[in-house]
Amino acid sequence: MTQPIQDSLGLTGDQLLELYRQLLTIRAFEERVKYESSLGNVLGPTHLYIGEEAIAVGVCAALRPDDYITSTHRGHGHALAKGCRPDRMMAELFGRETGYCRGKGGSQHIADFSAGMLGANGIVAGGIPIATGAGLAIQLKQSDQVVISFFGESASNRGPFHEGINLAAVWRLPVLFVCEFNHFGQYTYARQVMRVENVADRAAAYGIPGLVVDGNDVLAVYQAAREAIARLRAGDGPMLLECKTYRLEGHNIGDELYYRTPGEAEAWRLKDPIDRYSAWLKDREVLSEALEAVTQARVQAEIDSAVAFAQASPFPPVEAALQDVFSADYAVRLS
Amino acid sequence: MMATPMPAGVQMETRRITFRDAVREALQEEMQRDPTIFVIGECVELRSAWRTTRDLSVLFPGRVRDTPISESAIVGAAVGAAMLGMRPVAEIMVGDFVTTCMDELVNQAGKARYMFGGQIDLPLVVRIPTGLAKNAAAQHSQTLESWFMHAPGLLVAAPSTPYDCKGMLKAALRGRDPVLFFEYKMLYALQGDVPADDYTVPLGVADVKRAGRDVTVLCWGSVVHKALAAAVALEADGVSVEVLDLRSLVPLDTPAIQRSVERTHRAVVVEEACRPASAGADIAAWIAEHVFYSLDAPIKRLAAPPVPKPFSTPLEQAVVPQTDDIVRAVRELL
């Protein structure tokens, strides 16, 4: 692991506080999703990003608005960090017409192409070759945009990880592969299914650099991502950035966590990325108790308003079930 | 192989070219017209295994790219590039290899527009050389169109002539949806007349390859030529066979099926794929459901038995319907 970062990396106080606000927003969004799911308002299987927020925030802070990301089944944090709106996300989770996918995708398919969010993906490793293709499009357009592909360590055991990264490496595409090592593939520990400790070690197989950072340190993630992205924009080809973290919640809402080693989560809670960062900010007098309270209240108000928006939005009309299969050029065969 | 005529009514200056050159010409002309089109696949820079991309990498540097043997990455990358407004053409060298990229075809390409609420067009073409090739055996001979009729969101095309192939591929490259373009390998050497000028053939429109009164033979791809040969043989006996080339399976031109079967009152559905849950099964069911009262005889189906395609020539020829089988099936209906 890299050493904890001692300086502010040239970020202004406002920029440092913006990272803090984003971390809080993702946490508050996820806590509320859990609650709304228990009420039956959030529909379907839902995977929470609690404990892993520093990765999405740190990486996306190093992006430009015109860059792209691909995400996973655990994608709410990526979407928020890339600039998706909490209200339209919440509406999607509620299955409403005003959601990003008009209520046809749900948690595992949130996408906002106008924000460069190329989709959560319900297939583990599904986003990796797509990110490679986005990188290919950028290269063919001779643009200096970049693509981030977020995935978990379990994705690195699937074929598309190998194929997608190898192809990106061969063509030197501007894709940063970001592995969120959260220790679990559903109910299985990573150590049960991998002989290597670090997914980053696998980068050597593709002839690209692999780096491990503390995924619960938002500034460490930001610094590593910033350096990697500068590499990408210079045309030096892809890189694998592994962020060590821990999935504080279950695989999905409702997971009883029988399989988890006792005491383990408690130990990781002491390394909670938000607590660590707020302590760091306070230590440097960037964040005061008063500002902390104000920020928390603002974030909470935004989430309340997102829920109100979702609640007030209609369900999609049933005709929508038959729309968007093809472009308007073709109709779905109904008989 | 015999040559195919132009469709009746098409009056332009024409040239005689092969099916494989129809593919290459369509790609070349569309790449010239549209800089967002590019080609990826295994060995496509030199010529591709089927010699369908010859010279393109020289004409369009950087836009025709050899990939590793990585079908998931080929199709997945095509999906990602299409999301950013490019028009990828991905070649899967042999149709059986779609098994190695089913997630990217079915879960990603087929569902992206829908599950993202219609936010994007996904204009990509996956070219799939398919079907029997002499003695290619179990893992290089299948034709799997029916799998993709069952998976929502994918257009499925399977032309039978150079004219249709070039026109339909051009239409696919101008569309907004993912198209699986099945090219029957046994047709690559087939010659046919193709207009010198630009033209397209719309997807989802069937074509009467031979008009007839007594029986409709419904088919697509390489089987069309066996059906045409059967029609010639039956004509000597005074039996008039209509050969309806469906050309696309998604969309399926059900109005054309209805028109033809209502006129002939008899239907034979012929395909090279295995019989259970096949494209032909669906077409036969559609006829039974919608044109039943026009039928004078049960619908007849010819397909391969559900066995892997065998290697040795007599076995290989025995498992797929041949011209004689079509002749026999038609006679049984009269």
Q: What phi, psi does A234 have (nearest 5°)?
A: -80, 0
Query: Residue B23's pLDDT is what?
Result: 98
Is there a contact between B144 and B273 (Cβ–Cβ < 8 Å)? Answer: yes
* Interface membership of B323 toward A (CB under 8 Å): no
Segments making up each domain of chain A, as ranges: 33-313
Residues of A numbered 97-136 whose beta carbons fall under 8 angstroms of chain B's beta carbons: which are they?
99-105, 109, 111-113, 118-119, 121-123, 126, 128-136
Q: How confident is the model at residue B12 (pLDDT cuts 50, 70, 90)?
A: confident
Each residue of B28-55: b (16+ CB within 10 Å) or e?
bebbeeeebbbbbbbebbebbbbebbbe
Choose the CATH number for B207-332 among 2.40.50.140, 1.10.150.530, 3.40.50.920, 3.40.50.1860. 3.40.50.920
Whether the predicted pLDDT of B11 surpasses 70 = no
- Is B95 in contact with B182 (CB distance < 8 Å)? yes
Asked whether residue A135 carries a pLDDT value surpassing 50, the answer given is: yes
Contact status, residue B90 vs residue B127, Cβ threshold 8 Å? yes
Query: With respect to CATH, is domain B14-195 assigned 3.40.630.30?
Result: no
Mean per-residue pLDDT for B270-295? 98
Of the CA atoms within 13 Å of residue A44, those in its CB half-sphere come to 14
Contact predicate B274/B306, CB 8 Å = yes
Closest CA–CA distance from residue A134 to any residue of chain B (Å):
5
Q: Which residue has 């696309």 as its token pair?
A: B248
Q: In the structure, what pLDDT confidence band is assigned to residue A8 with cuts at 50, 70 and 90?
A: confident
Residue located via tokens 């990106």: A168
Give A136-194 pLDDT, tens digit per residue. 999 999 999 999 999 999 999 999 999 999 999 999 999 999 999 999 999 999 999 99
Give the separation between CA B270 and CA B316, rounded to whole angstroms: 17
Q: What is the mean pLDDT of chain A?
A: 96
Whole-angstrom CA distances from B113 to A114, A143, B119, B179 are 14, 25, 7, 13
For residue B80, which residues of chain A lie inside 8 Å, CB to CB?
Answer: 70, 118, 129-137, 147
Helix (H) / strand (E) element for A276: namely helix A273-283
Q: What is the pLDDT of residue B4?
A: 67
CATH superfamily of A33-313: Thiamin diphosphate (ThDP)-binding fold, Pyr/PP domains (3.40.50.970)
Q: Does B251 touch chain A (CB under 8 A)?
A: yes
- Residue B79 in contact with residue A129, Cβ under 8 Å? yes
| DSSP at B55 | T
Delimiting residues of CATH 3.40.50.920 domain(s) in chain B: 207-332
pLDDT at B64 over 90: yes
> Between chains, do A136 and B68 touch, taking CB under 8 Å as contact?
no
- In A, which residues are within 8 Å of B78 by CB distance? 133
Closest residue on chain A to B117 (Cα)? A101
pLDDT tens digits along A193-220:
999 999 999 999 999 999 999 999 999 9
Residue A328 CB neighbour total at 10 angstroms:
9
Smallest CA-to-CA distance from A150 within A212, A60, A233 is with A60
Q: Is the pLDDT reported for residue B101 higher than 90?
A: yes
Residue B149 CA, chain-centre distance (Å), reads 12
Residue A195 near chain B (CB below 8 Å): no
Identity (one letter) of the amino acid at B280?
G
Distance in angstroms (rounded) separating the CA atoms of residues B65 and B48: 11
Q: Look at residue B248 and give its three-state secondary structure.
A: strand
Q: Pick from A154, A147, A165: which is nearest to A124 by CA? A: A154
**pLDDT(B272) > 80:** yes
Chain segment B180-197, per-residue pLDDT in tens: 999 999 999 999 999 999
**How much of chain A, in percent, has pLDDT values that exceed 70?**
98
- Residue of A173, A206, A330 to mutate for B, most B C-beta atoms under 10 A: A330
> Is the complex ipTM higher than 0.85?
yes
pLDDT of A4 reads: 54
Q: Is B174 on the interface with A (CB under 8 A)?
A: no
CA distance B140 to B186: 12
Q: Is A88 on the interface with B (CB under 8 A)?
A: no
Residues of chain B with CATH 3.40.50.970: 14-195
Collapsing DSSP states into helix, strand and coil, what is residue A192?
Answer: helix
A286: Cβ contacts below 8 Å, ≥ 6 apart: A8, A13, A16, A17
Whether the predicted pLDDT of A310 surpasses 60: yes
Taking residues A291-302, report their average pLDDT. Answer: 98
The percentage of chain B sitting over the pLDDT mark of 70, rounded to a whole number, equals 97
pLDDT digits (tens, 9 = 90+) for B195-217: 999 999 999 999 999 999 999 99
Q: CA dist A271 to A32, A278, A281, B176, Å? A: 22, 12, 15, 48
Band of the pLDDT at A7, cuts 50, 70, 90? Answer: confident
How confident is residue A2, by pLDDT bands cut at 50, 70 and 90? very low
Nearest to B72 among A131, A159, A331 (CB): A159
> Do B224 and B245 form a contact (C-beta atoms < 8 A)?
yes
Interface mutation vs chain B, best among A326, A332, A334, most B CBs within 10 Å: A326
Nearest by Cα to B192 from B7, B29, B19, B10: B19
CA distance A13 to A21: 12
Q: B228: pLDDT confidence band, cut at 50, 70 and 90?
A: very high
Kindly tell me if the per-residue pLDDT of A1 is higher than 50: no
Contact B191, B150 (CB under 8 A): no
Is the pLDDT confidence value at B42 over 90? yes
Residues of B whose CB is below 8 A from A163: 68, 70-73, 76
Work out the pLDDT band at A6, boundaries 50, 70, 90: low
Identify all chain A residues contacting B203, using CB atoms and an 8 Å cutoff: 330
Task: Mark whether B290 is an active-site residue.
Answer: no
| pLDDT tens-digit readout, B121-157 | 999 999 999 999 999 999 999 999 999 999 999 999 9
pLDDT score for B9: 65
Average pLDDT for residues B81-108, to the nearest whole number? 97
**Cα–Cα distance list, B293 to A308, B264, B288, B290, B299 (Å):** 56, 12, 9, 8, 12
Burial class (CB in 10 A: 0-12, 13-18, 19+), A289: exposed
